[in-house]
Amino acid sequence: MSAHKHREHLEKIKDAVVNTEELDESQKSDSVKRIEEWIAEDKAFGTLKEELLEVSEYFEVLFAELGLTK
């Protein structure tokens, strides 16, 4: 995946996290923090996905809705 596409996916996930009602404010804050770290450090998406699933199983649904599942 190109760096541009990778960043685009992360931004899409971040926007969805901010706008969801499925996560409480603490989960949103923690998730956005992790996503922003990934954007800054350009880490692998798979690792981020695993970390976000630790915050909430809801991310499995979110990734599917955003078309980001394999």
Per-residue b or e along 8-41, where b marks 16 or more CB atoms closer than 10 Å to that residue's CB: ebbeebbebbeebeebeeebbebbbebbeebeee
Q: Report pLDDT for 40.
A: 76
Q: Residue 3 — pLDDT band, cuts 50, 70, 90?
A: low
Q: Which two tokens stand for residue 3?
A: 């760096």
Q: What is the pLDDT of residues 23-57, one digit of tens each?
A: 999 999 999 998 888 777 766 666 778 888 999 99
Q: Has residue 33 been placed in a domain?
A: yes
Q: Where are the beta strands (DSSP E) in the chain?
A: none
Q: Say if 29 falls within a structural domain.
A: yes
Q: Is the pLDDT of residue 1 over 60?
A: no
- Structural domains of the chain, count: 1
pLDDT score of 70: 58
Q: Looking at the domain assignment, is residue 70 inside a domain?
A: no
- Show the domain range for 54: 3-65
pTM (predicted TM-score): 0.62
**3-class SS of residue 21:** coil
Note whether residue 52 is domain-resident. Answer: yes
Whether 51 maps to a domain, the answer reads yes
